[in-house]
């Protein structure tokens, strides 16, 4: 109800000041008192730094001001409650958009892996194994193989844990150079060596001849471009494509070089198919993921929080950022220097506002991160947005946790959504530029590359048995798990591990499908009975 | 030849639903999520029915039994899915505030979940057959019908469309409590499934299934309120005016909620 009032209030002002650039971004810093604020603290605190209102705006008289403040205090509590609710809605709404933005890359990654596994036998052949898995599960005794699988899994897990802690330590002590070097070397390896391997196997699989000169030219160009894109600069689409490719290469490696063994222990299902360290590793990794992200002192939590303390993006964090669209938008405009942001944004917003006065409403969910104010994050972020890729650690997802920041971002979003121009709560009056950029950048759902890798390992492994029903079932189950994780993200509002739910769903559906559904579906298909 | 057949059959079955998906759903994240979630429900129904099939060992040779229960399970899960959507409607309203279309026009969700059911059931019916299509080998060497693949393909397509229609009819019937229509959905599903039990007789089964599809589609169109006039309207490309209206309504509505 009070919202309604505030909106009317607002629209009156709109009429008088013809909604200038302030509508979306300016007013936070300039004239907070003419909007419905989120807290009195913000309103009062912001009163100080307020300079004179922008030229087009009607200055408020003292009485008006006082009356408004009073009103505001009265309804403040309600407002806060409402805001909390709205916040939740927004996260959900936000989620709906970003779920899709994660669906696409995850599906693409799986597609690459599945297509490769299905068409190139090299990746489903066994024989060579990773150094870390000394037990090759060749013995006849089931118990021995299971033991071997577990030992393998724990060795790999230990490796991942050690590497993660190592990374955290480096990060903690700001040894950025070492981390960068590490990442560069690992991506160098992936982009050149593994790409070469992949290309060769692909050619061999399709029985195509190609001379070495051409191959080396292709690999060189591909690799160098990848290095440039991942570690320095490049169109975002290209960068994301490289990240997806790197992730799928990595999961192909896992599929190929992990010895196969039993998972039935893990699921207490003695399955006909059960065999594979991969499965054990998947289960163990998802547990590790859970611990790492959720424990109060879990390493990934520390990483995320340290990053937030230092007010910088999780830089080495091998993260796939979901705001592809926004990013490409910003990339497109990033030539404009950041000083011109307001102009740019102004014309943008103003134009739309003229065309459609309701624009603010029906645009509401999207602009939160992007369309509405794409320019703010422009120039500086383009250099920061380099997400690096790292291979070994299967570690988890960082969904931009960080209470304060997200809260601030969200509040701002809420404010914007509701009032189209509310003062920033967290930033007080002087919402400084860096903070803002930060929020811009961290907005959106992010998924660790490790998640991509392990999702693809699961689906690829499922497809390597040649049954497509199982593959589809795993795929759907993983997507649903991802959805559920995102819903939980909206509820708990902190960084969550993306692997456990999805992988558990995937495993359950893998085994259930291959044990129950496949015989039934095969009968149906061969008898041509449709259900 | 095998590869050509693979692509041809794949396109026949998945082309039309794919076009539906791209034109009507791909742009709206909520619809895509609903699509995936509804196919998940279908997957659950299949899982339960095949568990049942597995458990009752002696009846395994009789596929009719499995098909019967599978159909019942599918309709049951359609009901569950409907109830879930109904429960989630409030949340859905919040999530899709920018286009209330999806809430106001109940048929959209019904249609989306119908496509979800159809796509996944078509996929499960066909993908392995498709994979076999790429060879090596040829159908019909041992006296089987050489039109095995093409019959499967067309029947799958019919079932995908049937699922879409069933989704629309079922949801509308639940909303308006016309239980006769629900009975029709279940009966026609059973009927279509039973027809395919005759299956090497392609000349009989394929036309019959398509006949069921035509009847069901007519009913679904009636239920969704399609009239000759509305068809003419939609063909006039006047949907732009329409869409603006929808946005208007949605926007004012969300204002009112505030």
* φ, ψ at A393 (rounded to 5°): -65, 125
CA dist A160 and A225 (Å) reads 28
Which residue would you say has higher pLDDT here, A121 or B258?
A121
pLDDT digits (tens, 9 = 90+) for A256-310: 766 554 332 332 222 222 344 455 555 666 566 655 655 555 566 666 666 666 6
Chain B, nearest residue to A508 by Cα: B47
Contact A531 B99 (CB under 8 A): no
CB A378 within 8 A of CB A333: yes
A90: nearest Cα among A456, A418, A320: A418
* Residue B224, pLDDT above cutoff 50: yes
| CB contact (8 A) between residue B53 and residue A520 | yes
The string of pLDDT tens digits covering residues A462-482 is 888 778 889 999 999 989 988
Query: Which positions of A are annotated as active-site residues?
Result: 289, 451
- Of A247, A259, A249, the C-alpha closest to A131 is A259
pLDDT at A20 over 50: no
- Residues within 8 A of B (CB atoms), A 462-491 only: 466-469, 472-473, 476-477, 479-480, 483
> How far is the C-alpha of A218 from the C-alpha of A22, rounded, in Å?
50
Does the CB of A238 have a partner CB in chain B at under 8 Å?
A: no
Asked whether the beta carbons of residue B36 and residue A479 sit closer than 8 angstroms, the reply is yes
Helix (H) or strand (E) holding A341: helix A341-355
Closest Cβ opposite residue B71 in set A96, A358, A531: A531
Q: Helices (H), strands (E): how many in chain A?
A: 23, 4
Percent of chain A surpassing pLDDT 90: 3
Cβ <8 Å between A4 and B47: no
What length does chain A have? Answer: 531
Q: Do B247 and A89 touch (CB under 8 A)?
A: no
Give the count of alpha carbons within 13 A of A391, CB side only.
20
The pLDDT of residue B190 is above 50: yes
* Confidence at B186, pLDDT banded by 50, 70, 90: very high
* Lowest-confidence region among A193-197, A203-207, A284-288, A444-448: A284-288
Q: Is the pLDDT of residue B78 over 80?
A: yes
The pLDDT of residue A261 is 44
| Residue A137 confidence (pLDDT) | 58
At A448-457, the pLDDT tens digits run 776 787 788 8
State whether A528 and B99 contact (CB < 8 Å).
no
Beta bridge partners of A268: none
Q: Which of residues 340-359 of A touch B (CB under 8 A)?
A: 358
Mean pLDDT for all residues in chain A: 60
pLDDT in tens, B241-253: 444 333 333 333 3
DSSP B22: I
pLDDT, residue B115, reads: 93
| pLDDT tens column, A403-424 | 333 334 434 333 333 333 333 3
Confidence of residue A494 (pLDDT cuts 50, 70, 90): low
Among A92, A469, A519, beta carbon nearest to B91: A92
pLDDT at B123: 92
H-state helical runs in B21-105: 29-55, 63-87, 89-95, 101-104
Lowest mean pLDDT among A139-153, A174-188, A468-482: A139-153
Segment A428-447, tens digit of pLDDT = 333 333 333 333 334 456 67
Kindly state the helix (H) or strand (E) to which residue A447 belongs, with its residue range.
strand A446-448
Q: Which of A125-134, A261-270, A296-305, A520-529 is the least confident region?
A: A261-270
B10/A31: higher pLDDT:
B10
Please give the average per-residue pLDDT across B251-256, as a whole number.
35
Q: Which residues contact B223 (CB under 8 A, 6 or more apart)?
A: B168, B169, B172, B173, B181
Confidence band for A86, pLDDT divided at 50, 70 and 90: low
Helix axis angle for A76-119 and A195-206, nearest 10°, is 50
Sorting pLDDT into bands at 50, 70 and 90, what band is A241? confident
The CA distance from B1 to the nearest CA of chain A, in Å, is: 17
- Integer Cα distance of A363 and A231 in angstroms: 34
Q: Which of B3, B13, B22, B29 is most worth mutating to test chain A (most A CB atoms within 10 A of its CB)? A: B29
- Bridge partners (DSSP) of residue A261 are A275
User: Lowest mean pLDDT: which of A214-218, A234-238, A250-254, A347-351?
Assistant: A347-351
**Which pLDDT belongs to residue B203?**
87
Task: Name the least confident of A131-145, A420-434, B144-158.
Answer: A420-434
- Whole-number pLDDT of residue B202: 86
**Mean pLDDT to the nearest integer, A72-84:** 66
Residue of higher predicted confidence among A335 and B162: B162
Averaged pLDDT for residues A69-91: 64
Q: What is the pLDDT of residue A221?
A: 92
List the single residue in A99, A512, A517 with the smallest CB-CB distance to B33. A99
pLDDT in tens, A315-369: 433 455 444 333 322 333 333 333 333 333 333 333 332 233 322 333 333 332 3
pLDDT confidence of residue B30: 82
Interface contact flag, B43 A473, Cβ < 8 Å:
yes
Q: What is the pLDDT of residues B17-48, one digit of tens each?
A: 999 999 988 888 888 888 999 999 999 999 99
Q: Tell me how far CA of residue A454 lies from CA of A59, A106, A148, B69, in angstroms.
A: 58, 10, 21, 36
Q: For chain A, positions 79-118, list CB contacts with chain B under 8 A.
A: 89, 92-93, 95-97, 99-100, 103
Would you kindly state where each structural domain of chain B is located, as residue ranges? 2-226, 232-258
Q: How far is A531 from chain B (nearest CA, A)?
A: 5
> Is ipTM over 0.90?
no
Tell me the per-residue pLDDT of B104-136, one tens digit each, with 9 for 90 and over.
778 888 999 999 999 999 999 888 888 888 777
Determine the Cα–Cα distance for residues B115 and B68; give it in Å rounded to an integer. Answer: 22
Q: What is the mean pLDDT of residues A480-498?
A: 76
pLDDT on residue B154:
92
> Does A229 score more than 50 pLDDT?
yes
Out of A96, A466, A467, closest to residue B33 by CB: A96
Q: Residue B218: what pLDDT?
A: 92
Half-sphere exposure of A99 (CA within 13 A, CB side): 32
Give B116 to chain A, closest Cα distance, Å.
11
Whether the Cβ atoms of residue A496 and residue A488 lie closer than 8 Å to each other: yes
Higher pLDDT, B95 or A350: B95
Higher pLDDT, A527 or A390: A527
B32:A100 CB<8 A: yes
Do the Cβ atoms of A531 and B193 come within 8 Å?
Answer: yes
């Amino acid at each position: 109800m009070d919202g309604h009032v505030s909106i009317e209030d607002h629209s009156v002002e709109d009429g008088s000041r013809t909604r200038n650039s302030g509508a979306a971004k300016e007013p936070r810093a300039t004239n907070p008192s003419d909007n419905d604020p989120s807290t009195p603290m913000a309103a009062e605190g912001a009163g100080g730094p307020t300079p004179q209102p922008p030229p087009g705006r009607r200055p408020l008289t003292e009485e008006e001001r006082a009356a408004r403040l009073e009103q505001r205090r009265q309804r403040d509590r309600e407002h806060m409650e409402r805001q909390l609710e709205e916040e939740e809605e927004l996260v959900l709404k936000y989620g709906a958009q970003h779920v899709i933005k994660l669906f696409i890359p995850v599906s693409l990654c799986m597609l690459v892996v599945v297509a490769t596994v299905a068409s190139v036998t090299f990746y489903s052949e066994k024989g060579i194994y990773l150094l870390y898995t000394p037990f090759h599960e060749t013995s006849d005794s089931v118990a021995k193989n299971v033991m071997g699988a577990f030992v393998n899994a724990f060795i790999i897990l230990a490796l991942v844990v050690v590497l993660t802690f190592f990374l955290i330590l480096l990060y903690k002590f700001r040894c950025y150079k070492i981390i960068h070097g590490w990442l560069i070397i690992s991506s160098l390896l992936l982009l050149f060596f593994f790409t070469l391997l992949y290309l060769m196997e692909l050619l061999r699989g399709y029985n195509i001849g190609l001379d070495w000169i051409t191959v080396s030219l292709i690999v060189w160009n591909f690799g160098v471009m990848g290095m440039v894109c991942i570690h320095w600069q490049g169109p975002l689409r290209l960068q994301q494509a490289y990240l997806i490719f790197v992730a799928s290469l990595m999961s192909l490696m896992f599929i190929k070089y992990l010895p196969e063994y039993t998972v039935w222990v893990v699921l207490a299902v003695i399955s006909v198919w059960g065999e594979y360290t991969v499965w054990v590793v998947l289960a163990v990794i998802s547990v590790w993921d859970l611990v790492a992200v959720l424990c109060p002192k879990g390493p990934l939590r520390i990483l995320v929080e340290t990053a937030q303390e230092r007010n910088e993006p999780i830089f080495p964090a091998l993260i796939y950022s979901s705001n592809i669209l926004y990013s490409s938008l910003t990339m497109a405009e990033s030539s404009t220097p950041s000083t011109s942001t307001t102009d740019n944004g102004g014309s943008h917003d103003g134009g739309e506002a003229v065309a459609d006065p309701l624009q603010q409403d029906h645009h509401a969910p999207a602009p939160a991160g992007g369309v509405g104010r794409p320019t703010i994050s422009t120039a500086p972020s383009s250099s920061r947005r380099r997400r690096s890729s790292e291979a070994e650690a299967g570690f988890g997802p960082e969904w931009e946790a960080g209470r304060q920041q997200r809260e601030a971002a969200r509040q701002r979003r809420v404010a914007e959504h509701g009032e189209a121009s509310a003062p920033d709560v967290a930033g007080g009056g002087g919402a400084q530029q860096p903070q803002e950029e930060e929020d811009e950048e961290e907005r959106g759902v992010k998924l660790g590359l490790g998640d991509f890798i392990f999702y693809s390992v699961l689906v690829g492994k499922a497809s390597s048995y040649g049954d497509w029903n199982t593959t589809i079932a795993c795929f759907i189950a993983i997507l649903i798990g991802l959805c559920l994780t995102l819903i939980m993200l909206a509820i708990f509002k902190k960084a969550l591990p993306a692997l456990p739910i999805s992988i558990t769903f995937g495993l359950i559906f893998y085994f259930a499908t291959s044990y129950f559904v496949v015989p039934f579906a095969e009968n149906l298909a061969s008898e041509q009975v449709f259900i | 030849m095998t590869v050509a057949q693979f692509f041809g059959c794949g396109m026949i079955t998945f082309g039309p639903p794919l076009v539906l998906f791209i034109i009507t759903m791909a742009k709206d994240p909520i619809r895509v999520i609903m699509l995936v979630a509804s196919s998940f429900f279908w997957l659950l129904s299949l899982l339960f029915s095949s568990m049942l099939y597995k458990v009752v060992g002696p009846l395994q040779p009789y596929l009719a039994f499995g098909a019967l229960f599978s159909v019942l399970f599918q309709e049951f899960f359609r009901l569950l899915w409907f109830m879930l959507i109904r429960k989630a409607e409030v949340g859905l309203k919040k999530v899709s505030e920018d286009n209330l279309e999806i809430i106001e026009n109940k048929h959209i969700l019904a249609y989306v979940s119908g496509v979800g059911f159809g796509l996944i059931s078509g996929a499960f019916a066909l993908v392995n057959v498709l994979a076999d299509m790429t060879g090596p080998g040829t159908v019909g060497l041992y006296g089987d019908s050489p039109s095995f693949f093409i019959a499967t393909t067309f029947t799958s397509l019919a079932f995908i469309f049937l699922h879409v229609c069933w989704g629309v009819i079922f949801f509308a019937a639940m909303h308006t409590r016309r239980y006769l229509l629900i009975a029709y959905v279940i009966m026609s599903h059973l009927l279509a499934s039973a027809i395919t039990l005759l299956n090497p007789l392609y000349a009989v089964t394929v036309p019959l299934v398509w006949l069921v599809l035509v009847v069901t589609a007519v009913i679904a169109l009636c239920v969704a309120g399609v009239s000759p006039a509305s068809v003419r309207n939609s063909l006039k490309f006047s949907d732009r005016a329409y869409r603006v209206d929808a946005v208007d309504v949605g926007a004012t509505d969300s204002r009112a909620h505030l």
